Amino acid sequence: MNSTDTQRPETASRPKRELALVSRSTYLKERALQYLFFACAFLAVVTVVLIFAFTMLQAAPVFTDIGLANFFSLDWAPTEGRFGILSLAAGSALVTAGALVLGVPLGVGTAVYLTEIASARVRAIISPAVDLLAGIPSIIYGFFGMVIIRPFVAEISGGLGFGALTAWLVLAIMIVPTITTLTIDALRSIPMGIREAGFAMGATKWQVIYKVVLPAARFGIVDAIVLGMGRAIGETMAVLMVVGNAPVIPDSVASPISTLTSQIALDMSYSSGLHRTALFGMGVVLFIISASLVGIVRMLSKKRKG
Amino acid sequence: MSVYQNAPAPEVSAITAANFDFWYGDFHALTDVNLNIAKNKITAFIGPSGCGKSTFLRCMNRMNDLIEGTRCEGVMTLDGADIYAEGVDPVDLRRRVGMIFQQPNPFPKSIYENVAFGPRLQGVTSKSDLDDIVEESLKRANLWKEVSNQLSKDGLALSGGQQQRLCIARVLAVQPDVLLMDEPCSAIDPTSVQKVEDLMAELAPEMTIIIVTHNMQQAARISDCTAFFLQEVAGEPATLIEYGQTDALFTSPIDKRTEDYITGRFG
C-alpha cells in the first residue's frame, strides 16, 4: 500500500457510485443547437455565393456579345448598342471621392470630439444624434438633397443644381455615422495610460490628440474610412435623386452626371437584352469593388495584429 | 495631526505642501497634508491601498486636473512657486515634474520616437541634436546597451521591465527637476526592479525623486525620507500620519499607527 492510500481511507471504503452519463436528450439538444447556429452562419456564405454566381451568369454575355472593349469605353447609349460604363464608373469615383474629402474630416472630427474632448453631458446629446443619422432612410437624404441642398448649389453654380457637388454634400453627411462610430471604437481601444503619458510629458490636449492618440488609432481609422467609402460607392437612391442622371463626363461639379448604382436603378425596370446584361455587368464591377474594400480592411486588421 | 522626525526644512525642499486637501467630486480624499520634499533626495510614500498616496503624488504635476470634478485646497509649491496659482500652465509644470506610472506606458511608436517625443514637443528639430538626446537619455536609463541597435523597433515590443526603463528614458529626455514614480516596480519582473532601483540611486544626486510604493522593503532600501499615509475610517479623508528620515521612521516610529503598519499588523 502506498502512502496516498493510507492517507485517504474513507474515499476507498465508501460505497461505489457510478458517475452520471450524458443523457440522450442533453446530447441531442446540444447537437441540434450546434447545427442550427451553423445553418444561420452558413446562410450568409450561401447567399453571397449565390448572388455573385447569379450576377456573373447574367453578366456573362458582356464578354461574349458586348465585348470588353465596348463595355469599358466611355460611351453609354444602350439604344444604339453602346454600353461603355467608364463615364458611369468615373461618376461613381467622383461622387465617392468628394464625399470622402468632406465626410472623413467631419466623421473623424466628430469621433475625436466625442471621445477626447466632450463632457459627459454634451456627449449624451451628440452621440444619439449621430446614431440617428445612420437610421434615416436614404430616400429622405435624397429628398433633403433635392429640396434643400440642390437649390442652394443651383444658386452658386447657375445651373439646375443636379450634379456631383450636391451628391458630395448629401453623401458626406450619410457616411458620417459609419466613420464616426468606427473611429470612436478605434479611439476607445487606445489605453488611457498612453494619453496620461502624453499629458505627463507636458503635451497639450491638442498634442496628445494628434501626436499620440490619432497615430495609435490609425489602422482603425483607415478601416472606418474604407467602410465609409463602401457606403458611398454603394449608395443608390439618394445619389439618383441629386446627380441628374446624365451618363457623360461632366463639364463641372455642378453639371449632371450618373453613377453605376443610380444607372442600374433607373434602367433595370425597363431594360432588356444586352442592355440588361450590361446592367448586370455593372453589378459585377460594383461587387468586385466592395469585395476589394472588405479585403483591404481584412488585410489591415491582420497587419495590425501581426 | 501628523508627526515629524527630522523632516526637511522648507528652504532645502523642492516641493512643499501646506494644509493641503483634495476632493474627487463630493468625496473628500485627502485632508490637511503638510510636508516638505527634500531636493535631490528620494522620498517614499507608503500606506495601505486607498490611503491617498497616489492621489497626492498626482497633485504634484496636476495630473488630477484631467479628471472631471476634482479640486484641492491649501498650498503646494515647486521651488517656492505656487503650483495651483491662477494662470499657472499645467503643461509647463509637467515638463519640470516628470512622471512614471505603474503600468509601463510607452507610445505605440519606435523606441527612438518615444524618447524623442518630449524634445520634439519642446521644439527640438535637428536630427543630430535628437540623436544625441535619445542616446544620452537611453544611457542614463541603463537601456542603451540593450536597444542601441534596434532603435526603430516598436517600444511595445520590449519586455515589461525594458518598457518601464524606456518610459524613464522618455522622461529624462526633457530633463525634469522632479521625477514622480507611481508604483513603478509593481508590474515588472524582479530583475528589472533591481535595475530601476539602481537607476533611481544614480539619478537622485541631481533629481528629486518621489516614489509611491506598496513594498516597504523597497521604501526602506532606496529612500532618504518616508511619508506614511492612512485612511483610518472608510469614507473619511486620508491624511499624512508620520513623515521623516527613512531610518528613523522604520526603526523608531513615533506614531503607534505607523508602527502597526510597518510591522505588518494591518494594511
A193, A203, A211: residue with CB nearest B105:
A193
Q: What confidence tens digit (pLDDT) does each residue in A226-257 have?
A: 999 999 999 999 999 999 988 888 888 888 99
What is the arithmetic mean of pLDDT over B159-182? 95
pLDDT of residue B138: 96
The pLDDT confidence band at residue B95, using thresholds 50, 70 and 90, is: very high
What are the pLDDT digits (tens) for B253-262? 999 999 999 8
Interval A104-152: pLDDT, tens: 999 999 999 999 999 889 999 999 999 999 899 999 999 999 999 999 9
Label residue A3 by pLDDT band (50, 70, 90).
Answer: very low
Mean pLDDT, rounded, for B160-177: 94
A212-216: average pLDDT: 94
B155 in Cβ contact with B105 (< 8 Å)? no
State the average pLDDT for chain A: 90
pLDDT of residue A305: 56
Distance from CA of A116 to the nearest CA of B (A): 11
- Whether B161 shows a pLDDT value over 50: the answer reads yes
A7-21, B60-74, B198-212: segment of lowest average pLDDT = A7-21
* Residue in A with minimal Cα distance to B97: A200
Q: Residue type for A32, please?
A: A
pLDDT tens, position by position, A27-42? 999 999 999 999 999 9
Say how far residue B45 (Cα) sits from the centre of its chain: 9
Does pLDDT of A55 surpass 90? yes
Q: Looking at residue B33, what is its pLDDT?
A: 94
Give the 3-state secondary structure of residue B144.
helix
pLDDT for res A1:
45
For chain A, say whether B233 makes contact (Cβ under 8 Å).
no
pLDDT higher at A6 or B235? B235
Structural domains of chain B ordered from first start: 3-102+177-262 (3.40.50.300)
How large is the average pLDDT for residues A66-86? 91
Provide, as residue numbers in chain A, all residues whose Cβ is less than 8 Å from the Cβ of B117: 201, 211
Among left, alpha and beta (phi > 0; psi -120 to 50; other), residue A244 is: left
The dihedral formed by the CA atoms of A287, A291, A292 and A294, expressed in degrees to the nearest 10:
140
Reported confidence tier of residue A18, pLDDT bands at 50, 70, 90? confident
Query: pLDDT grade, residue A13 (50/70/90)?
Result: low
List of residues 6+ apart from B213 with CB closer than 8 A: B44, B45, B46, B183, B185, B186, B219
- A5 compared with A25, residue with greater pLDDT: A25
Least confident of A291-300, B122-131, B188-197, B207-216: A291-300
Rounded average pLDDT over B16-31: 94
A158: confidence class by pLDDT, cuts 50, 70, 90: confident
Domain ranges of chain A: 68-305
Determine the pLDDT at residue A10.
57
Q: The whole model's pTM is what? A: 0.82
Which one of B66, B101, B118 has the shortest CB-CB distance to A202?
B118
Q: What is the ipTM of this complex?
A: 0.91
CA-based nearest distance B1→chain A, Å: 32
What A196-199 contacts at long range (C-beta under 8 Å, 24+ apart), as own/partner pairs, is: A196/B63, A196/B66, A196/B101, A196/B105, A197/B101, A197/B105, A197/B106, A197/B107, A197/B167, A197/B170, A198/B107, A199/B63, A199/B66, A199/B94
How many residues are there in chain B?
Answer: 267
**Residue B124: per-residue pLDDT:** 93
Q: According to the model, what pLDDT value does residue A40 have?
A: 94
Q: A198 and B106 in contact by Cβ < 8 A?
A: no
> Which chain B residues touch A119 with a CB distance below 8 Å?
68
- Compute the mean pLDDT over every residue in chain B, rounded to the nearest whole number: 92
Q: What is the CATH architecture assignment of A68-305?
A: Orthogonal Bundle (1.10)
Determine whether the interchain pair B101/A207 forms a contact, defined as Cβ–Cβ distance below 8 Å.
Answer: no
- List the end-to-end C-alpha distance of chain B, in Å, as a whole number: 20
Q: Is the pLDDT of residue B251 over 70?
A: yes
Give A156 or A18, the one with higher predicted confidence: A156
Tens-place pLDDT, residues B112-144: 999 999 999 999 999 999 999 999 999 999 999
More confident residue, A1 or B164: B164
Residues of A in contact with B170 (CB under 8 A): 197, 201
Chain A residues touching residue B122 (CB < 8 angstroms)? 202
